[in-house]
Amino acid sequence: MTAAKKLARSETSLEAGRVERVREAVVVRLASGSYEARRAKSCLVAPDLGDKVLCAIEPEGVYVLAVLEGRESAPTRLAADGDIEVQARGGHVAICASKRVDIASGGGVAVTGAEVHVRAAKGSVAVEELGFFGRLVQAEVARVALVAQEVDSRLTRLTLRAKRVFRFVEELDQTRAGSVDLRAESMIGIRGENAVVSARVLAKIDGEQIHIG
pTM: predicted TM-score of the whole model, two decimal places: 0.61
Let me know how long the chain is.
213
Per-residue pLDDT reduced to its tens digit, 47-89: 999 999 999 998 888 999 999 999 888 888 988 888 888 889 9
Model confidence band, residue 14 (pLDDT cutoffs 50, 70, 90): very high
Distant-in-sequence, close-in-space partners of 213: CB < 8 Å, separation ≥ 6: none
Per-residue pLDDT reduced to its tens digit, 139-187: 998 999 999 899 999 999 999 999 999 999 999 999 999 999 999 988 8
Bridge-based pairing of strands 61-69 and 33-39 is parallel
Question: Kind and range of the H or E element at 68?
Answer: strand 61-69
Domain boundaries, the chain: 13-69
Q: How many CA atoms lie within 13 A of 176 on its CB side?
A: 1
Cβ neighbours of 56 (radius 10 Å): 17
Angstrom distance (rounded) from CA 37 to CA 62: 5
Using the predicted structure, report yes or no on whether residue 198 has a pLDDT greater than 80: yes
Share of the chain above pLDDT 70, in %: 95
Q: Which CATH class is domain 13-69?
A: mainly beta
